[in-house]
Amino acid sequence: MIRIRALVAALAALLTAGPAWAGGEDPWEPFNRQMFALNSLAVQYVIDPAATFLETWVPHPVRQAGSNIYGNLTEPEFIVTNLFVGDYHGASESGRRFVINSTFGLAGLWDAASAWGVERRQVEFGEALCTAGVPTGPYLVLPLIGPTNATSAGLITGFFTVEWYALAMISTLLATADLVVDLSASAASLRFAGDLPERTSHDPYHIQRELYGRYLHEGCPAMAAEHAAVATR
């Protein structure tokens, strides 16, 4: 996942002039550590209790419907990212899924597209940007969102802001639903990102940063080569 991620990430667009992050560079570490601490408190005192309540008291069909709605609202993103990587058929399939699930699927409550054999063609923004040869920019931790990088944050901001306004022109209810599921998805992502480091290191910030770097490198061979080049200097 503007997705709420994009609204907060608007600040990052001003920062993309910084040095490229190659896994070991962290020019904004003081700011990032403060945001990491804020996110850890949010997970401990707000997100974890809310997730426990939902998992205990909200019926599975309701949670599944919410997941389906979120999945449908991410399809426009995959139209763009499939185009980025040159998969025009994948972009077409993502468009078909969005139309089918928004209509026959009752605004995404039911994944009608999958039932009819139109499969999800998921390509994340980071993977698409890597394929396009776009540098990552510096490592960045955003409040209530978690680890990212400046270039991704800036570019995703523009896309999802346009998406949110387009949804608002179609339906205020649809745009509101997009905002709600973005908040939920950001909370889930933040919860996952903050889970393991707390248990494995005296410096969980450092571990989370390294895990994010590993995630980027594994999904982007070009970045892995860049990291290796930096390491040999």
Tens digits of residue pLDDT in 147-186? 888 888 887 777 778 878 887 887 787 777 777 767 677 7
> Which positions of the chain have pLDDT values less than 50?
1-23, 223-233
Burial class (CB in 10 A: 0-12, 13-18, 19+), 8: middle
Query: What is the reported pLDDT for 93?
Result: 96
pTM metric for this prediction:
0.70
Question: For the chain, what are the domain ranges?
Answer: 4-231
